[in-house]
A and B are shown apart, each in its own frame.
Chain A
Amino acid sequence: MIKTLHPKAPRDLELFAQTENFALNQAVTANQRLLLKTALKGLRSQMESAETPLPYFTLPLLVYGAIAKTTAPAEPLAVACGLLFLGIDIHDDLADGDLPKHWRGYKKSQINLAAATLTCSLPQIAISKLKASPDVTAAMQHALAQGLLRMSAGQERDIAFNGKTKIKTSEIEESVANKSGEELALFARLTALLAGAPPKTVATYSAMARAMGTAGQLASDCHDIFQAKISHDLANGTRTLPIALYLEKLDRLPSPKARGTDRQNFLALLKKAQNSRSTQIKIRRLLMNSGVLRHCAFIVEIYCQRALSLLKEAQPMEPFGNALISFINSLSYFSKNVKFPEAT
C-alpha cells in the first residue's frame, strides 16, 4: 500500500493500466479511441516526471484506507480520478496554449473533445459502475458535477488575472484553492462518500485535500518562476503567487514616489519577460533578493500545516494516517521534522 507513495511504483503502473483499459474500452469509434490513447500518453508522462505522489491514484486509496482500513474498493475510483485529472490537465494546457508534443498534428477542436470526454463522460461512467448504493452513487455524481462547476469558475478567474497590473495575494490563493485545491478536494470527497463516511468526515477530508492541492499548486508556481529553465508563467503573462507577493511588497514601500516608479519598472519587466529569457532571469534574481522565495515557502508551509491539522481532526486509521502525513510532507520545503501541529 505504502508503495503508492512513490511515483512510478508498481501499484501506480497497475492503476495506469486499469485506467487505460477502462478508457479505451468505453470508446465508441476508432477515432475516439485514438484520441484517448494519445491523451493517455500525457498521463503516462506526468507519472514519469512526478516528484510527489500521484494525487489522483494515491489520495483515493489513502483516504479510503484511512476511513475503512482497506483500499481495494477505492481502486476503480482512483481510475475515475486519473481520468478526471487528465481531462482537467488538457483543458489547462489548452487555456495556457501550452500543449505537449504528443498532440502535434491534432486540431484544437479534437483535443478539446478528448478533454471533454475525459472530464464529462468517462468519470461519470466509472462512478456508475462502482459497488455502491444508489444513494451513494447519486451523492457522488452530484459532488462531481458541483466540483467541476467550482473548478470551472476557478479557471475562469485564473484566466482573468493574465497581464493584470493590480493583483492581491489573497485573490491568487483563492483562485488556486478553487482550481487545484478543489480538484484534490473532489477526489477526497468522492472517496469519503464511497467509504460511507458521515458528512463531517467527508467535509474534513475534503478540506484537508483542498489545502494539499493549494500547497502543491503554489509550490509548482514557485518552481516555474525560480527553478524552471523557461518560465511558462512569465512567458504567458500569468500572475502567480511570487509576482503578487512582490507587487504587494512594492505597495508597502514608504515613499509614494518609489512605490509608483518601482511598480512601473517591474510591470515593464514582466511585459518584456514574455519574450526574453534574460529578463526572466532578471526577475528571478529580483524576487530572490527581496525575500519572495522564502515568503512563498512560508505560505506553502501554512497550507501543509492546515492539511496536517485537518488530518488529525479526521482521526485516520493506521497505517493510512501516517501515509497521508508523508504525502503532505512531500509538498513541504521543510518536511524533515514535520509533525501534527499542537492542539490549542
Chain B
Amino acid sequence: MSYEAIGKLMDRWVNDPNFRTELRKDPATAVRESGAQLNKEELAALKQVDWNCSDEELKTRLNKGM
C-alpha cells in the first residue's frame, strides 16, 4: 500500500480547501494532478469514497465490523 502518498493526500484534504473541492468534483484528476502515485485498488477505493459526506455523517456509517 502507498502509505506515504495516502497520508500526504489526507493531510491535504484536511488543510487545503481547494483540494477538497477538486477531490469532490473529480477524485481521479485531483489525485493525478497532486502527483500522488496510487495503485489500481487504491484508485478504485478513491473513486468509491464519498468525498461529499461530512465526518459526522461518516461516523454514523461505522459498524462493529466482524
Chain A count of residues within 8 A CB distance of the other chain: 53
Contact present for A334 and B8 (CB under 8 Å): no
Contact present for A309 and B7 (CB under 8 Å): no
Stretch among A19-27, A65-73, A296-304 lining the B interface: A296-304
Q: Is A344 an interface residue (CB 8 A)?
A: yes
Q: Is B18 an interface residue (CB 8 A)?
A: no
Least CB separation from B44: chain A residue: A341
Q: Is A48 an interface residue (CB 8 A)?
A: no
When chains A and B are docked, how far (Å) is the Cα of A170 from the Cα of B62?
A: 22
Contact present for A248 and B63 (CB under 8 Å): no
Residues of A within 8 Å of B3, CB to CB, are: 168-170, 248
When chains A and B are docked, how far (Å) is the Cα of A205 from the Cα of B14?
A: 37
Contact code string B40-66 (vs A, CB < 8 Å = 1, else 0): 111011101110000100110111111
Stretch among A98-106, A196-204, A220-228 lining the B interface: A220-228
Q: How far is the CB of A247 from chain B (nearest CB, A)?
A: 11
Contact of B48 among A168, A184, A337 (CB under 8 A): A337
Contact of B1 among A173, A294, A295 (CB under 8 A): A173
Q: Is A331 an interface residue (CB 8 A)?
A: yes
Contact present for B41 and A293 (CB under 8 Å): no
Q: Which of A38-65 contact B (CB under 8 A)?
A: 49-52, 55
When chains A and B are docked, how far (Å) is the Cα of A240 from the Cα of B3?
A: 16
When chains A and B are docked, how far (Å) is the Cα of A51 from the Cα of B42?
A: 26
Least CB separation from B54: chain A residue: A294
Contact present for B66 and A220 (CB under 8 Å): yes
Stretch among A148-156, A210-218, A260-268 lining the B interface: A210-218
Tally A-B pairs: CB < 8 A. 119
Q: Is B11 an interface residue (CB 8 A)?
A: yes
Residues of A within 8 Å of B61, CB to CB, are: 297, 333-334
Query: What does DSSP make chain A's interface, helix, strand, loop or mixed?
Result: helix
Contact code string A132-175 (vs B, CB < 8 Å = 1, else 0): 00000000000000000000000000000000000011100100
Q: How far is the CB of A325 from chain B (nearest CB, A)?
A: 13
Residues of A within 8 Å of B45, CB to CB, are: 298, 301-302, 304-305
Q: Which of A173-205 contact B (CB under 8 A)?
A: 173, 180, 184
For B40, B41, B49, the residue with the greatest tally of chain A CB atoms inside 10 Å of its CB is B41
Residues of A within 8 Å of B66, CB to CB, are: 50, 52, 55, 180, 184, 213, 216-217, 220, 331
When chains A and B are docked, how far (Å) is the Cα of A248 from the Cα of B5?
A: 12
Q: How far is the CB of B4 from chain A (nearest CB, A)?
A: 9
Residues of B within 8 Å of A333, CB to CB, are: 49-50, 58, 61-62
- Take A298-B45, A334-B48, A334-B50 as given contacts and tell me if A51 and B40 are in contact as well, using a CB distance cutoff of 8 Å: no
Residues of A within 8 Å of B36, CB to CB, are: none
Q: How far is the CB of A290 from chain B (nearest CB, A)?
A: 6
- Take A291-B13, A309-B40 as given contacts and tell me if A298 and B64 are in contact as well, using a CB distance cutoff of 8 Å: no
Q: Is A91 an interface residue (CB 8 A)?
A: no
- Which B residues contact A (CB, under 8 angstroms)? 1, 3, 6-8, 10-11, 13-14, 40-42, 44-46, 48-50, 55, 58-59, 61-66
Pick 25 A–B contacts, CB within 8 A, sort by A.
A51-B63, A52-B63, A52-B65, A55-B66, A168-B3, A173-B1, A180-B66, A213-B66, A215-B65, A216-B65, A220-B65, A223-B64, A226-B59, A290-B14, A291-B13, A298-B46, A298-B49, A304-B45, A305-B41, A306-B41, A308-B44, A309-B40, A309-B44, A333-B50, A341-B41
Q: A52-B63, A288-B59, A302-B45 are in contact. List 11 more A-B contacts (CB 8 A).
A: A50-B66, A168-B3, A173-B1, A180-B66, A215-B65, A219-B62, A219-B64, A298-B45, A298-B46, A332-B48, A333-B61
